[in-house]
Amino acid sequence: MKGYFAIGVESSSKIMNAGNLLRTTHAFGGSFFFFIEPAIDMHMLEQSDTARSTGEMPVYQFNTPAELLLPKGCSLVGVELTEDAVDLPNFRHPKQAAYVLGPEKGSLSPALQARCDHIVKIPMKFCVNVGIAGAIVIYDRMVSTGRKYERPVHVGGPDMIRHLAFGKP
C-alpha cells in the first residue's frame, strides 16, 4: 500500500515520551509529526530527540483541536480506550492517515474525538506509555498494509538445529 502516515499527540506533558514518539515516527518513515496543545517546553524537545528527527520531517504545533490542519484526503485516527473504539487488529488503516494519541495522564479531548474519522484502541488491560502506544500503532499499520519484510534465516537454518540436537557437527 502506498500512501503516508503521520503521528500526533494532544496535550503531551512528558518531554521524553514526546521525543521517543517523534523518533519512532521518523524511524518508521512518518511523513510529519504534530502536537496539539502541548504542555511541554517545545524548545526542550531537541534534548529528547536524539535522532534529530525535527530536521528530517516537518513538526507542526496547533493550539487547539479546531486549528488542526491536515492534507486533503488524510483521515484522522484517534487512538483511545473507549468502548466503541475498533480494536487495532481489526482496523483497516486508511491509505493516508494521521494518528493522534492522548496525553499521558488523560484521554483525547471530546473536541478532538469529534474531529476523528475513526477511533481505534489497542486491546489491553490498561494504558501504556504514549511512545509505546504510538509504536504499536505504527507497527500494526506497517504489517497490515503489506509493508512486510522477509524474516531472517537462522545461521545454519533447520539443519543446524538438527545437528545441534543430535550432537552432530
- Say how many domains are in the chain: 1
The angle subtended at Cα 113 by Cα 63 and Cα 120, nearest 5°, is: 125
**Per-residue pLDDT tens digits for 49-85:** 666 777 778 989 899 999 999 999 999 999 998 889 9
The residues that bridge with 87 in the sheet, in sequence order, are: 121
Closest residue by Cα to residue 120 from 98, 142, 104, 96? 98
Its pTM stands at 0.82
CATH number at residue 35: 3.40.1280.10
pLDDT at 47: 66
Closest residue by Cα to residue 16 from 57, 54, 37, 46? 46
Q: How many CA atoms lie within 13 A of 15 on its CB side?
A: 11
Amino acid at 21: L
Instruction: Give 4-58 as a DSSP string.
Output: EEEEEEES---HHHHHHHHHHHHHTT-SEEEEES--S-GGGHHHH-TT-GGGTS-
Write out the chain's pLDDT in tens, 169 residues: 579 999 999 987 667 778 888 889 998 999 999 999 876 665 666 666 666 777 778 989 899 999 999 999 999 999 998 889 999 999 999 999 999 998 878 889 999 999 999 999 999 888 788 889 999 999 999 988 876 555 555 455 554 444 444 444 4
3 state DSSP class of 96: strand
pLDDT at 160: 45
Q: Which domain covers residue 101, as residue numbers?
A: 4-165
